[in-house]
Amino acid sequence: MTKTINLTLKVWRQKTTEDKGGFKIYYSRDTSTDMSFLEMIDIINEQLTLDGEDPIAFDHDCREGICGMCGAMVNGRAHGPEKGTTLCQLHMRHFSDGDTIVVEPWRARAFNIIKDLVVDRSALDKIIQAGGYISVNTGGAPDANTILISQETAEKAFDAAACIGCGACVAACPNASAMLFVGAKVSHFALLPQGKPEAARRVMAMVKEMDRLCFGNCTNETECEADCPKEISITNIARLNREFFKAGFFSSAK
Amino acid sequence: MQLDAKVPGGPLSEKWDRHRFELGQISPANRKKFDIIVVGTGLAGSSASASLAELGYNVKAFCLQDSPRRAHSIAAQGGINAAKNYANDGDSIQRLFYDTIKGGDFRSREANVYRLAQLSNNIIDHCVAQGIPFARDYGGLLANRSFGGAQVSRTFYARGQTGQQLLFGAYSALMRQVAAGKVTIFPRREMMELVIINEQARGIVARNLITGDIETHAADAVILATGGYGNVFSLSTNAMSCNVTAILRAYKKGAFFANPCFIQIHPTCIPVHGIYQSKLTLMSESLRNDARVWVPRDSNDTRSPHQIPGSDRDYFLENKYPAFGNLVPRDVASRNVKKQCDMGKGIGETGLAVFLDFEDAINRDGKDEISKKYGNLFQMYEKITGDNPYETPMMIYPAVHYTMGGLWVDYNLMTTIPGLFALGEGNFSDHGANRLGASALMQGLADGYFIIPYTIGDYLSVTSLDKITDEHPAFREATQEVNSRINKLLSIKGKRTVDDLHRELGRVLWDYCGMARNEKGLLKAKKLVQQLREEFWENIIVPGSERDFNQSLEKAGRLADFLELGELMIIDAFARKESCGCHFNEAYQTEESEAKRDDENFCHVAAWEYAGYGVEPLFHKEKLVFENVELTQRSYR
């Protein structure tokens, strides 16, 4: 049932990358519990605009949990307290009247803050550029049904491929590691027959790039899995490690 | 100006092959001498950028978001059509072609649609080779499901996230070319102006959304793959940043805008629930494979849906259209839902909703089977509404979803400006007056992977292009225009916010240029939109500065363009004195209240030419010639 609640928000405001930044307090009054978290910020921004102040900058786009554009730490949790939920799909019915909510940007060495809650995640694109693809040019593919893939394999590959690249895993990890992100992509292709020819080269190149970009290492904290809005399993990190060792021992890939 | 669609001669099934042979070529060694700008990185943009780079062209790819992977193609749920006939149910290229052209209510170009059907099979082959994890049968073969407007199973899918997986395929191909040095990515850039030199498209002016810098980029050809303009309605299933700016800028520079009033209103979306609402969420058409649409027979029935027995339910789509049942095309389904609600039979607090019920399917196949097919959609529905669709039926209502209209293009996907191409939802070409489900992904990828790589080579090989750089005065002029528009927006300092005005524009268009239209309403809407436009330029408030990451400024620029587009849509709707597909003019309907076409007078594409700010645009028509299909009243009964 729809009801309204009153909330206090402590939001991180930072003008530019170089700016020091700090928390500012805002009040969200008569907030409908059917609203999404971002709609609540929309309303605060609408008021800030009318008051002649700078609205809170935040990334968002599809608002249906699939594009991976949105994200912020809400009370210390990436994308907020709900399991398997992006920030845009977090609804206010999960908060109570009188709550204080702390909202901060993703914090990681590899992600610079651009403004307020907006961060630069281009490092994730760079990791994909290092090898997150199957090298096939357009044209020349054989009939789609010449490759048989068991339903189980296809489903497992899908589970890994469902990663939306939002960066929550990096933000949630005490080491700011991107292992879940990399593990998901490596797994997606390692599981499928189409990905096998390049598997060794791919995993070596992607891990190397991840290290170069100052992402931390995995120490099995499993915070990434807990906060991943697509519930990508840390099994993918285990598979990444296995693929990495396999490539190191049994291939010429460096 | 006479519109020439450049459709090749010969029998329909041989046109594309013949055309490919007749097209001019650029030799592999010479391709690196050409620079191509691609704006947009959705399915059409990413696939075009990757394919052109593979051929050896130098590509600059632009996107609004922080990464190409976020483009709104990602949100496409249900699937992608192909004429593989893997289901052995009598499908063929001819049948996919026919279904698509009939679904579009005979307002699309025959040759384009046939080519689309032909290429559909290549797309699936290529996507599987890229590693896209399509759904599979137990034997390991690809699985198919059905979609609206078809009586065969030809839709390939990856759970309810087909668009996401296809986009990741195109994105990974794009990233591979970035690594190869053939594509340069410009993320967080918005195209602000098209630059034309010697009547050829030679570059763009873009705004760096982080720094506010205005950047100039020169090229030998420009491709716009910037998607649709459904957000003109403020509330739509489109992502928040979807906009018309790039194609409207091109329109104002001379590219014709075709069929702007052809707006697809999708029947199954989560209903509006409050004025603060920022967007609407689609529930995939694939759900209609297993769900049944109904309302209580008695509008005063207050029982919970489970307690209403079958005899007291009106399965209005199944009753009215026994042959296609719940899987009638989107325009037909939406109008019928609206009709039920207009009759007062709608459900929920607002009365603007009908049930989409899985009870029978769950009883038949079990919860697990249904969850495997639609799990993510059920989860999404529950997150938004707080209701569990395994237990209570979904409530749905139509919402703006896709725009069939767009820049006019010829068979080569070139607009009326030489060297300017439009792909994907941004062009008008393949869906006529109504797009069938699972056809948008097909079109975006056909355009990008398999059409533009050939046709752009032809353009470059037969055109004499002067050597230019962005030092050319035309870039300076365009930059000045952009700067003065931005300064104007920031200097108004009025009293109404962008979102506030945008909501009002959306309401006007939804009421008068939405699912049903009439002349009186359209005339009224035209005045209202003009007034809103005036108010915008006098009373808008845009905080912040131009040299900043300024999201309010971005939105204001887009709304300014939507306000011009809104009027163009109304003018187009007014001029089309017939009903066809999504365009339902109440004065033209059959006895069964279906859309009644006027093939004698309106079997054409309406292409509008910009004539100046506030001036009525000039009308041009491309007559549609049907040599291979017979124009009939669409029937799904």
CA separation for the pair B205, B195 (Å, rounded): 7
Domains of chain A plus CATH, in order, are: 4-114 (3.10.20.30), 121-250 (1.10.1060.10)
A151, HSE (Cβ side, Cα atoms, 13 Å): 8
Q: Both ends of chain B: CA-CA distance in Å?
A: 42
Mean pLDDT of A133-144: 97
Instruction: Please report which helix (H) or strand (E) contains residue B524, including its range.
Output: helix B519-539
Instruction: Please compute the mean of the pLDDT values over residues B137-149 and round it to a whole number.
Output: 94
pLDDT tier at A7, thresholds 50, 70, 90: very high
Within 114-133 of B, beta carbons closer than 8 Å to A belong to 122, 124-133
Segment B13-29, tens digit of pLDDT? 999 999 999 999 999 99
pLDDT of A1 > 70? The answer is no
Tell me the two tokens of residue B22. 């007749």
Residue B592 has pLDDT above 90, yes or no: no
Tell me the percentage of chain B whose pLDDT exceeds 70: 100
Residue A2: pLDDT above 80?
Answer: no
A89 to chain B, closest Cα gap in Å: 6
Segments in B10-131 forming alpha helices (H): 15-22, 43-55, 93-103, 110-129
User: CA of A131: which chain B residue's CA is closest?
Assistant: B176
- The verdict on ipTM greater than 0.95 is yes
For the cut 90, the answer to whether the pLDDT of residue B280 exceeds it is yes
pLDDT tens, residue by residue, B393-452: 999 999 999 999 999 999 999 999 999 999 999 999 999 999 999 999 999 999 999 999
Predicted confidence at residue B160, as pLDDT, reads 87
pLDDT band at B455 (very low <50, low <70, confident <90, very high): very high
- Position B635 scores a pLDDT of 87
Among candidates B131, B281, B497 on the partner chain, residue whose Cβ is nearest the Cβ of A194: B131
Cα distances from B412 to residues B20, B46, B265, in angstroms, run 10, 18, 28
pLDDT at B302: 87
Q: Is the pLDDT of residue B324 over 90?
A: yes
pLDDT at B568 over 70: yes
SS3 state of residue B621: strand
- Residue B1 pLDDT class (50, 70, 90 cuts): confident
- Please check the confidence at residue B588 and state whether its pLDDT lies above 80: yes
pLDDT band at B172 (very low <50, low <70, confident <90, very high): very high
Cα A188 to Cα B253: distance, rounded to the nearest angstrom: 45
To test the contact with chain A by mutation, choose from B67, B542, B555 the residue with the greatest count of A C-beta atoms within 10 A, namely: B67
Q: Does A214 touch chain B (CB under 8 A)?
A: no
Identify the closest residue of chain B to A83 by CA–CA distance.
B383
pTM over 0.90: yes
Structural domains present in chain B: 266-401 (3.90.700.10), 473-612 (1.20.58.100)
Put simply, the answer to whether B126 touches A150 (Cβ < 8 Å) is no
8 A C-beta contact, residue B79 and residue B135 = no
Are the beta carbons of B104 and B437 closer than 8 angstroms? no
What does DSSP assign to residue A173?
S
For chain A, say whether B84 makes contact (Cβ under 8 Å): yes
Which residues have CB under 8 Å from B150's CB, separation 6+? B81, B99, B327, B436
Asked if A48 and B47 come within 8 Å (Cβ–Cβ), the reply is no
For the range B518-525, what are the long-range contacts, defined as Cβ-Cβ under 8 Å and sequence gap of 24 or more?
A: B518/B585, B518/B586, B518/B587, B519/B574, B519/B585, B519/B587, B522/B570, B522/B573, B522/B574, B523/B574, B525/B570
Instruction: Look at residue B271 and tell me whether its pLDDT is greater than 80.
Output: yes
The pLDDT mean for chain B works out to: 96
Query: B633 pLDDT exceeds 70?
Result: yes
Confidence of residue A4 (pLDDT cuts 50, 70, 90): very high
> Rounded to an integer, what distance in angstroms lies between the CA atom of residue B604 and that of residue B616?
20
Task: Take residue B326 and report the two structure tokens written for it.
Answer: 């719940």
Mean pLDDT, to the nearest integer, of B293-314? 94
Residue B48 has, within 13 A of its CA and on its CB side, a CA count of 36
Measuring CA to CA, which residue among B317, B331, B314 is closest to residue B267?
A: B331
- Among B175, B177, B185, smallest CA distance to B206 is for B185
Residue found under tokens 């569990």: B388
What integer is the mean pLDDT of B205-223?
A: 98
Is pLDDT of B479 > 90? yes
CA distance linking residue B174 with residue B182, whole number of Å? 9
Share of chain B above pLDDT 90, in %: 94
CB burial class (10 A; 0-12, 13-18, 19+) of residue B615?
Answer: exposed
Closest chain B residue to A132 measured between Cα atoms?
B172
Cα–Cα–Cα angle for B414, B61, A122, rounded to 5 degrees: 160
User: How far is Cα B418 from Cα B610, in angstroms, rounded to an integer?
Assistant: 16
Closest approach of chain B CAs to the CA of A174, in angstroms? 24
**What's the CA angle centered on B558, arms B554 and B560, to 5 degrees?**
120
CB within 8 Å: A32 and B67: no
Q: Give B543's pLDDT tier (boundaries 50, 70, 90).
A: very high
Average pLDDT over residues A147-176: 97
CB count, 10 Å around CB of A27?
Answer: 11
Q: What is the DSSP string of B186-201?
A: E-SEEEEEEEEETTEE
Residue A174: other Cβ atoms inside 10 A:
9
- Name the percent of chain A in helix, strand, coil, to the closest 5: 40, 15, 45
Tell me the DSSP string of B38-63: EE--SHHHHHHHHHHHHHT-EEEEE-
Largest CA distance in chain B: 74
Q: What local confidence, expressed as pLDDT, does residue B517 receive? A: 97
Mean pLDDT of A134-154: 97
Tens of pLDDT, residues B47-93: 999 999 999 999 999 999 999 999 999 999 989 999 999 999 999 99
Subunit contact A52:B131, Cβ cutoff 8 A: no
DSSP string across B401-459? EEE--EE---TTSB-SSTTEEE-GGGB-SSSTTSPPTT-HHHHHHIIIIIIHHHHHHHH
Q: Give yes or no for A125 touching B (CB within 8 A).
A: yes
pLDDT in tens, B338-388: 999 999 999 998 899 999 999 999 999 999 999 988 888 999 999 999 999
Over residues B211-235, mean pLDDT: 98
**Which pLDDT score is estimated for B465?**
97
